[in-house]
Amino acid sequence: MLVIAGIAAGIWAFAAIADEVREGDAQSFDSRVLLSMRTPDGALKGSPAFQEAARDVTSLGGVTLLALVIFVTAGFLSLDGKRHMAFFLCGAVAGGMILTTVLKDSFHRSRPDLVSHAVYASGASFPSGHSMMSAVTYLTLGALLARSHPRKMVKAYVLLLAAMLTVLVGVSRVYLGVHWPTDVLAGWSAGSVWAMLCWLLARRLQLAHTLEREEEFGPEPRVFRRAPSRS
């Protein structure tokens, strides 16, 4: 029920942001946030080392690195005997990429021209592809890995790490001047919705034993019973 509520909230948030962008009401907010990260002469705030770190972080949401992460993870799952999960992961990310392309082509929003771009960027601006695909990839991957592990601390760590990577990539896109803040907010919303839908589908498939074989979770723990005492 919480996941379904999260999906509904994510769809509502994306629709609300998209409506503000279409009507132009988000421009004032977007401009204030972008300019707050720049000096009066238009230069990026922060030391050169910090700016380079932001470029490194933003690359975590790039197509090349995300494809490499999925390729390595899918290979590991396949070698571990979880081929169905590997195919599901690849399909989930590919579907998210198609959805991102469709949304970008639907809105055709121009990238920020208020400040200079600190990294190369091309294509439409809304929603942020890096932000959305980071949410799709890292949250879907985190949800699948968390579901296949029995320890709650490990589950929480994986999900928290996935969320942190998603947030850092989105913030870096705004800081580097290649996206409006509402682009990133919309990307997070849409990507999170897609990741939660994939989680629900994965749960359904696992309950039907079509995503993972039952033995992939390991043998059932043995229950030792005390032998009855002899009178």
Residue 221 pLDDT more than 60?
no
Nearest one of 168, 198, 196 to 184, comparing CA atoms: 168
pLDDT greater at residue 136 or residue 24: 136
| pLDDT for res 24 | 81
101 three-class SS: helix
User: What pLDDT, in 10s, does the model give residues 25-46?
Assistant: 888 898 899 888 888 887 888 8
User: What pLDDT, in 10s, does the model give residues 141-174?
Assistant: 888 777 766 778 888 888 899 999 999 999 999 9
Nearest one of 175, 183, 191 to 119, comparing CA atoms: 175
Q: Where are the domains of the chain?
A: 58-108+125-212
- Its pTM stands at 0.81
Identity of residue 81: G
44 three-class SS: strand
Nearest one of 82, 94, 170, 103 to 137, comparing CA atoms: 94
**Are 143 and 199 in contact, with CB atoms under 8 Å apart?**
yes
User: What pLDDT, in 10s, does the model give residues 179-220?
Assistant: 999 999 999 999 999 988 988 887 787 777 666 654 444 444
| pLDDT for res 224 | 44
Question: pLDDT > 90: what percent of the chain?
Answer: 29
